[in-house]
Amino acid sequence: MSRGLRVAVVGATGVVGTTMLELLRERKFPAREIVPFATERSAGRELEGGLRVEALNGGADLSGFDLALFSAGAGTSRDWASRFVEAGATVVDNSSAFRRDPEVPLVVSEVNPHALERHQGLIANPNCSTMQLMVALAPIHRKAGIERLIVATYQSVSGTGKKAIDELDTQADASLRGTAMPAPQIYPEPIAFNVIGAAGNFADGDDHTDEERKMMFETRKILEDESIGVAVTCVRVPVRVCHSEAVNVQTRDPLSAEEARELLAAAPGVILEDVPTPLRAEGRDEVFVGRIRRDESHPRALSMWVVSDNLRKGAATNAVQIAEVLVERDLLRARHSVAA
Ligand SMILES: NC(=O)c1ccc[n+]([C@@H]2O[C@H](COP(=O)([O-])OP(=O)(O)OC[C@H]3O[C@@H](n4cnc5c(N)ncnc54)[C@H](OP(=O)(O)O)[C@@H]3O)[C@@H](O)[C@H]2O)c1
C-alpha cells in the first residue's frame, strides 16, 4: 500500500521552487497534498496544478507536514526551518544556512546517501556548482583518491534567482536594440555580453567569494576527506540556465583518461559527451562530462569539462531525490501520512 505524504514547498514561486513543484509531479512523488509557501506578496496566487500559494508568516499553520522542501534563501531557512522540524516535518534545505553545521548531513543522492541515516530533522542540499562536481568526481575519488582540484566555474544567472534572469534579458534586449543598458541591480557589472570574474559576494577581508568558499568546504564534507586541496574561481556568465566547470583533478594513485572515462560511463547520474553545453543540458537531471584528457604537466592529473542544469540536479532534482531516499529507507521523522 502506498502512503501519501503532506509536503510543504517553501519558496514555491522562485525558479528553484517552481522546478521543485514540476519535479514532484514528474517523478510521481507520493504526496497526498502539496502546500506552496512564499512571501505575502505571492499569497493567493494560483500555481500550476491548481495549487494556491500561502504566506509564510506568523499565521501560517506548520502542523501536519511530513516533509518541507525549502528554497527561499538562507535567512528564511534560518527563521523557519527549525519551526517546521519542531512541528514534526523533515526539512530538506536548498540554502547555505545549515551546510556547515556538523550535525546536518550535506547530501548528493548518488554520492553519500548514507549520511541521511543520521539526520535529526534537517538535511542540507549542496551548492549547485558543488553538486554537479561531486557527481562527476566521487567515482574518481573512490578509485584513485583526489589530492587536489583546480576548478573554474562558468555559472548561469538562474543560479542567482529569477530577478537575475530578468536582468540578463533586459540588458541583452536593450543592447540588441542599440539603446542604453539599464543599470545593473543584481550584479556589480552588466551581465549581458560580459563575464564577471567573481561570482558571489566577498566577506570582509576575504579574497575568495562565498561561492568559492562553498565549493572548498562542501567538497571535503561530501567526500568525507578534509585533506583534499581545492583551488576555485567562480565566474558568472551570460547563460540563462546550467553551470559549466573546467576541472583539473590531481589523484593520489595514477588514473588514465581512459580509466576515468570508463568509471564515469558507469557512474550513476553521469552522461559522457564530447563537449557538453548548457543548452543541451538544460532541462535534464544528469551531469554531463566531456573533454576528459591527461594533463601533460602532471603525471597524476586529468582535465575535464562538467555541465549540469543548476535548477534541476543542482537544486530541485537532488532535493526530491533525497526525499525519495528518505521515503524508501523509512527515514522521515513525522508520521502524518495516511494510507492512499
Ligand atoms: N537558483 C539556483 O540555481 C539555486 C541552486 C541551489 C540552491 N539555491 C538556493 O535556493 C534558494 C532560492 O533560490 P531561487 O534561485 O529559487 O530564488 P528566487 O527565484 O529569487 O526565489 C525565491 C523564493 O523564495 C521566496 N521567499 C523569499 N523570501 C521569503 C520569505 N521571507 N518567506 C517565504 N518565502 C520567501 C520567494 O517568494 P516571492 O516570490 O513571494 O518573493 C520565492 O518563492 C536560495 O536559498 C538559493 O541559494 C538556488
**Predicted confidence (pLDDT) per residue in 62-89, tens digit:** 999 999 999 999 999 999 999 999 999 9
Confidence class for position 339, pLDDT limits 50, 70, 90: very low
Question: Which grid cell is 181?
Answer: 543598458
Mean pLDDT, range 113-133, rounded to an integer: 98
Mean pLDDT, range 228-249, rounded to an integer: 98
Q: What is the pLDDT of residue 337?
A: 47
Element (H, E) at 7: strand 3-10
Ligand 1 geometric centre to CA of 112 (Å): 25
Ligand 1 geometric centre to CA of 140 (Å): 33
- Using the CB atoms, write b or e for 277-295: b if 16+ within 10 Å: ebeebbebbbbbbbbbebb
Ligand 1 geometric centre to CA of 86 (Å): 22
pTM, rounded to two decimals: 0.96
**Alpha-helix runs per DSSP H in 206-302:** 210-223, 257-265, 278-281
The terminus-to-terminus CA distance of the chain in angstroms comes to 7
Residues with a known catalytic role: 128, 243
Q: What is the pLDDT of residue 340?
A: 40
- Using the CB atoms, write b or e for 212-222: b if 16+ within 10 Å: bbbbbbbbebb
Confirm or reject: Cβ of 155 under 6 Å from ligand 1. no
Pairing of strands 270-272, 146-155: unpaired
Share of the chain above pLDDT 90, in %: 96
Mean pLDDT taken over the chain: 96
Confirm or reject: Cβ of 162 under 6 Å from ligand 1. yes
| Cβ-based neighbour number of residue 266 at 10 Å | 9
Indicate the DSSP class of residue 312.
Answer: I
Q: What is the pLDDT of residue 333?
A: 78
